[in-house]
Structure 1
Amino acid sequence: MQAHPAARPPLSQDPSARAYPQAADFTSRLTAVADAVEDFLADRLGDGLQPGEIARPPRLMQAMRHAVLGGGKRLRPFLAIETARMLGGAYPGALAAGAAVELVHCYSLVHDDLPAMDDDDLRRGKPTVHKAYDEATAILVGDALQTLAFEILADETWQPDARIRADLVLGLARASGLGGMVGGQLLDLGAEGRFGPANLDVEATLQLQAMKTGAILAHSVEAGTLVGGADAAGRAALLRYGRALGQAFQVADDILDREASSEAMGKRTGKDKDAGKATLVDRLGLDGARAECERLVGECEAALAPWGEAAQTLKDAARFTVARKT
């Protein structure tokens, strides 16, 4: 079980939470942002009571920290933060919006790993929550992480503009709910044949993936546009970028599931093929899937053209998404 994180002052009083992490190259910036998000999440997952709370059960807090801290590339919050940075948005709001997306992502992983879903024993190189604790605790961890995400978005400490807070809550709810991630999860289970015969074509597979994986990734970019105050044209262009990147991420993930080792990935690989899940690798072949990744990266770069060199980090993020090895 993960140890209690070291005590730290509230981030609302911490000057380091008031300025974007600085780094020259993409890899260093990705790491710096991941570290900042880790600190923010560790602070939110401490044992100290927040206003209106009655108690924080120790087992629940320990399991939540196990699920969230000490792993992951933090790509989703990175996209939110870097989009807001490019647009000149305030850092505290970008950090909070990115952290909220990451909490929803982590909740989805906890529930996805459950025996009734994908039944996985390993996540980010350590036992899944239901293995480290138990199934009931894992279900409650997912519930608590999801609600904490929306609590952060609704907190004026990080985003003083009530309209932006409302738009962030609405956007994340839609991306993660029945018409987005949760609906996509159900379609994914159906693609295994759980509810009857299933043989998804390319179009149906793309729809499933756009919901299960792409919606949250696209919202990460959208959150950055809201914090950064993008106009209608800018927001539309960046949403095209986010949707293309989300699709590229899933295709790259399907390729890794076929080619990477479980040790490198920190989770079981080959499971999608064994379960009969719908992937573009099955529909297009490995070479076709790689070509689709390259096409989608080109789509990302075209969407970012209006920002020129200012969008270099987001261009690098698209390339990183398809070139990653884990």
Structure 2
Amino acid sequence: MSTDFLSATLAVDRARVDAFLARAFEQRQPPAPRLEAAMRHALLVGGKRLRPLLVYLAGRSLGASDEALDAPAAAVELIHAYSLVHDDLPAMDDDDLRRGQPTVHRAFDEATAILAGDALQSLAFEVLARAAHPRLPALILTLAVAAGRDGMVGGQALDLAAVGGHPNVEALATMHAHKTGALICAAVRMGALTAVPEQDPRVAALDRYAEALGLAFQIHDDVLDVIGDTQTLGKASGADAARDKPTYPALLGLEGARRRAQELTDEALAALAPLGEAGDPLARLARYMIERDH
């Protein structure tokens, strides 16, 4: 798969999930129009859609149809969008910019932002529950665990507790495995489960791919926070250092963090071996995610 073909595939998949998400707001009379507008602002204004892309590519690698993957892809992005709205709140990271736009609590107000995040989370499970699929319970369980206390929310709690502290590399990896890695793992697993039962050995291979990729992605994000600029990132650069948050560059240095991200990327690529050529798009997406500059 050439770089141009990958770029074209990603563009098509972004447009596909964006269209699916937009339909969730069409042909309805919302009881709370301001809430609806805040949800749209959080969800439909930009975004790389990396997690939905992982759903599509993982599912296709095992034979799932695009139509079957639409709802899982949208559900993962809705959870991601809700998490960003809440992460940006004054009580959390207190950010003013997200995806180059004012954060939801800045564009609207803090209470509306909290409610918009709540509604996006609920909508994720509504979208998924409406999908007719024989393994729907497994899909819902995968997303619920990844999004909650044993996944993303638990990781955010660890992140808040670590501010100003000095965790070691192992503790930092544990935090990121929950805060960032859990939803990336869920995206890949949901794509896989749309295609085959959990007992298929390729599902375990994709789990290993996703675990390594999730941590590599977060390490690279830590690096970008140091070397990137606000315009390119779409959010404030240098925010981690300003908040005294522990990061991989702080613990390992910039070059050490880059090396660790590359080691993990290599692990992710090696995990795809049981998929053969069918895993090539996932390999190329992994490289794209870690080599990106924004």
TM-score interval, smaller chain: over 0.9
Please state how far the C-alpha of 1:160 moved relative to its aligned partner: 3.2
Distance in 2 of aligned mates of 1:277 and 1:219: 26
Distance in 1 of aligned mates of 2:240 and 2:132: 40
Is 1:34–1:74's contact at 8 Å kept on the other side of the alignment?
Answer: yes
Q: Which residue of 1 aligns with 2:181?
A: 214
Is 2:202–2:275's contact at 8 Å kept on the other side of the alignment?
Answer: no
Structure 1, unaligned runs of 5 or more: 1-22, 50-54
Deviation digits for residues 268-307 of structure 1 (CA, Å, limit 9, x no counterpart): 0101011111211111111111111111111111110112
Q: Which residue of 2 aligns with 1:200?
A: 167
Distance in 2 of aligned mates of 1:311 and 1:290: 24
Q: Does 1:189 align with 2:160?
A: yes
Distance in 2 of aligned mates of 1:160 and 1:296: 33
Provide the aligned C-alpha RMSD in A: 1.3
SS at match of 1:25: helix
Distance in 2 of aligned mates of 1:315 and 1:160: 27
| Structure 1 residue corresponding to 2:149, chosen from 156, 178, 185 | 178
Q: Which has the higher helix share?
A: 2
Q: Does 1:125 align with 2:100?
A: yes
Q: Does 1:242 align with 2:210?
A: yes
Please state how far the C-alpha of 1:154 moved relative to its aligned partner: 0.8
Is 1:92–1:159's contact at 8 Å kept on the other side of the alignment?
Answer: no
Q: Which residue of 2 aligns with 1:64?
A: 39
Is 1:238–1:303's contact at 8 Å kept on the other side of the alignment?
Answer: yes
Deviation digits for residues 111-163 of structure 1 (CA, Å, limit 9, x no counterpart): 000000000111000100000100000000000000000011111xx3332xx
Q: Does 1:167 align with 2:134?
A: no
% identical equivalent positions = 49
Q: Which residue of 2 aligns with 1:17?
A: none
SS at match of 1:199: coil
SS at match of 2:14: helix
Please state how far the C-alpha of 1:91 moved relative to its aligned partner: 2.1
Distance in 2 of aligned mates of 1:218 and 1:48: 33
Please state how far the C-alpha of 1:90 moved relative to its aligned partner: 2.8
Change beyond 3 A, Cα 1:136–1:69:
same
Q: Does 1:223 align with 2:222?
A: no
Is 2:156–2:179's contact at 8 Å kept on the other side of the alignment?
Answer: yes
Which structure has the larger Rg? Answer: 1
Distance in 2 of aligned mates of 1:56 and 1:165: 29
Aligned residues: 291
Structure 1 segments, 4+ long, off by >6 Å, are: none
Structural mapping, 1:100-139, within 5 Å: 100-139=75-114
Please state how far the C-alpha of 1:24 moved relative to its aligned partner: 6.8
Distance in 1 of aligned mates of 2:132 and 2:63: 14
Distance in 2 of aligned mates of 1:95 and 1:78: 10
Q: Which letter does structure 2 place at the counterpart of 1:78?
A: L
TM-score (norm 2): 0.96
Is 1:191–1:278's contact at 8 Å kept on the other side of the alignment?
Answer: yes
Distance in 1 of aligned mates of 2:162 and 2:25: 36
Q: Which residue of 1 aligns with 2:16?
A: 36
Is 1:191–1:276's contact at 8 Å kept on the other side of the alignment?
Answer: no
